[in-house]
């Protein structure tokens, strides 16, 4: 009878873990180091960088000593990801805070109801003419760009699959996506000079210049949304004898309308802050002009550019705040419309 040796202990699948409050504890140490740096006069940026470096080094080293290498690597990468997120967020927060803090001081009733055209020396000035010019020019540009962009994308996805002409159009759209805005302004300036003669300036010319910048964005966004529509929906409609154009209108577009609206809004937000092309073709004027076919029109970006060196800093910050609010409203409206018009599921 042989004596059996005792079974070897089975390997454990667990290991020591840091306390759940470890990141908070190391964060408190990093904050204390940052405060000490501020007291010593290192400057806010240097003190924050030192505190962040302490957090990114101490937590992985502590984890390596208590846990294992894999956990330490995970904690290090998590810290780096959060650090890069805050680095990307800091300029945005700083920009919004500065614009709101400086621009809110200029907001008043006269700011929104008066233009720069004065009938008396004591008359206040405002940005009413620039707001109206921005809305008119951007609206006309959207009226030009949205139908052209959506119909172009429909052709590329639904009709012109893999033919030579569609490849040429796709190449041209890619080229237009990367053209500088000043080139679009030069094209509109040359076009309207040939038609109306030298020195012509109008809101319509500015809208044409902006539409050249909007169309590629609308085409690309609409293309991506149409590609997401399942082919099964198209084939089901074709099987019922529905013509292609009716399938597009009644099936494809309603299914992708939320994304298309978001793409159009991005295109509008992309051009609403353009300055260079409008300086060439739309011009600068102190009066309020509602007619895009006759006379110069001033937009908010052009007003900011022209007034930045004239001592009207309060007006400049106020116009920047109004422009930022317009872009935010466009994004909110796009999200709301996208949810309302999106096809119901379930």
- List residues bridging with 295 in a β-sheet: 202
pLDDT at position 63: 85
Tell me the pLDDT tens digit for each residue of 289-305. Answer: 888 888 889 999 998 88
Q: What span, in angstroms and rounded, lies between the C-alpha atoms of 176 and 205?
A: 18
| Torsion on CA atoms 260, 261, 262, 266, rounded to nearest 10 | 100
pLDDT at position 1: 47
Average pLDDT, integer, range 340-345: 68
Q: What span, in angstroms and rounded, lies between the C-alpha atoms of 22 and 34?
A: 18
pLDDT at position 132: 92
Residue 136 in this model has a pLDDT that exceeds 90 = yes
Q: What span, in angstroms and rounded, lies between the C-alpha atoms of 338 and 330?
A: 12
Tell me the pLDDT tens digit for each residue of 261-278. Answer: 888 888 898 889 888 899
pLDDT at position 6: 52
Average pLDDT, integer, range 135-156: 93
pLDDT at position 152: 93
Q: What span, in angstroms and rounded, lies between the C-alpha atoms of 316 and 99?
A: 10
Write down the mean pLDDT value for the chain.
85
pLDDT at position 143: 94
pLDDT at position 309: 75
* Share of residues in the chain with pLDDT > 90 (%): 20
Residue 115 in this model has a pLDDT that exceeds 80 = yes
pLDDT at position 210: 93
Owner of token pair 């400057």:
43
With a CB cutoff of 8 Å and minimum separation 6, the contacts of 274 are 181, 209, 210, 213, 301
Average pLDDT, integer, range 246-275: 87
Top pLDDT among 3 and 153 is at 153
Superfamily of domain 128-341: MetI-like (1.10.3720.10)
pLDDT at position 87: 87
Residue 5 in this model has a pLDDT that exceeds 70 = no
Residue 8 in this model has a pLDDT that exceeds 70 = no
Top pLDDT among 16 and 176 is at 176
Top pLDDT among 339 and 236 is at 236
What are the tokens at 227?
């590609």
Residue 3 in this model has a pLDDT that exceeds 70 = no
SS3 (DSSP) at 127:
coil
Left if phi > 0, otherwise alpha if psi is -120 to 50, otherwise beta: which for 161?
Answer: beta
pTM of the model: 0.80
Tell me the pLDDT tens digit for each residue of 303-327. Answer: 888 888 777 788 889 999 999 999 8
Q: Where are the domains of the chain?
A: 22-105, 128-341
Least confident of 8-22, 108-122, 138-152, 328-342: 8-22
Helices (H), the chain: 22-39, 44-66, 69-103, 109-113, 128-154, 164-177, 181-196, 203-227, 231-239, 244-247, 253-271, 276-281, 300-307, 313-341
Residue 9 in this model has a pLDDT that exceeds 70 = no
Tell me the pLDDT tens digit for each residue of 211-233. Answer: 999 999 999 999 988 988 888 88
Exposed, middle or buried, 136 (CB in 10 Å: 0-12/13-18/19+)?
A: buried
Residue 158 in this model has a pLDDT that exceeds 80 = yes
């Amino acid at each position: 009878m042989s004596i059996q040796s005792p079974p070897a202990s089975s390997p454990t699948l667990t290991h020591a873990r840091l306390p759940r409050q470890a990141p908070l504890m190391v964060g408190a140490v990093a904050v204390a180091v940052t405060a000490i740096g501020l007291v010593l006069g290192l400057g806010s940026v240097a003190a924050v960088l030192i505190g962040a470096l302490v957090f990114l080094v101490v937590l992985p080293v502590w984890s390596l000593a208590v846990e294992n290498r894999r956990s330490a690597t995970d904690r290090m990468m998590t810290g780096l990801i959060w650090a890069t997120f805050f680095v990307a967020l800091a300029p945005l927060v700083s920009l919004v805070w500065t614009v709101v803090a400086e621009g809110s001081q200029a907001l008043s009733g006269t700011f929104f109801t008066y233009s720069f055209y004065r009938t008396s020396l004591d008359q206040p000035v405002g940005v009413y003419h620039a707001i109206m010019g921005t809305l008119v020019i951007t609206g006309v540009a959207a009226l030009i760009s949205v139908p052209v962009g959506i119909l172009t994308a429909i052709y590329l996805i639904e009709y012109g699959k893999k033919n030579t002409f569609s490849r040429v159009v796709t190449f041209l759209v890619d080229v237009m996506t990367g053209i500088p805005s000043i080139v679009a302004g030069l094209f509109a300036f040359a076009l309207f000079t040939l038609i109306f003669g030298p020195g012509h300036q109008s809101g319509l010319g500015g809208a044409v210049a902006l539409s050249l910048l909007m169309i590629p964005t609308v085409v690309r966004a609409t293309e991506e949304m149409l590609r997401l529509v399942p082919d099964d929906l198209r084939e089901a409609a074709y099987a019922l004898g529905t013509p292609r154009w009716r399938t597009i209108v009644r099936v494809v577009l309603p299914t992708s309308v939320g994304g298309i609206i978001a793409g159009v809004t991005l295109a509008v937000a992309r051009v609403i802050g353009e300055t260079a092309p409008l300086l060439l073709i739309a011009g600068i004027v102190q009066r309020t002009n509602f007619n895009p076919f006759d006379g110069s029109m001033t937009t908010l970006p052009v007003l900011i550019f022209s007034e930045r060196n004239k001592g009207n800093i309060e007006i400049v910050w106020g116009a920047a705040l109004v422009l930022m609010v317009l872009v935010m409203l466009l994004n909110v409206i796009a999200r709301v419309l996208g949810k309302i018009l999106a096809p119901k599921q379930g």
